A = this chain, B = another copy of it.
Amino acid sequence: MKARLTITLKSGVLDPQGRAIQAALGGLGFDGVGDVRAGKVIELELAEGTPPETIDAMCRQLLANTVMENYRVELL
């Protein structure tokens, strides 16, 4: 069983990495680049039948800082 977790900063939280990417793209001559938000994607191999609550607990305890980040779980 495989799960993909996408962890992104909540809107309103300053994203310095995104700002740096935006500036660098502009510096390379790419026009029309607006807001850039950077985040993490984590793909996990899990034992069959791992309940969604367990994946949620993994996110809340370790993988996402729920104060500043949102996470999305996709079962692949």
Tell me the A residues contacting B by CB distance below 8 Å. 6, 8, 18, 21, 24-25, 28, 30-47, 50, 54, 57-58, 61-63
Question: How many copies of this protein are present in the complex?
Answer: 2
A33: chain B residues at CB < 8 Å are 44-47
Interface contacts beyond A25-B58, A25-B62, A33-B47: sample of 5 additional A-B pairs, CB < 8 Å, sorted by A: A6-B41, A32-B47, A35-B45, A38-B43, A41-B41
CB–CB A34/B44 < 8 A:
yes
Query: In whole angstroms, how far apart are the Cα atoms of A27 and B32 in the complex?
Result: 45
Query: In whole angstroms, how far apart are the Cα atoms of A17 and B10 in the complex?
Result: 23
A43: chain B residues at CB < 8 Å are 8, 36-39
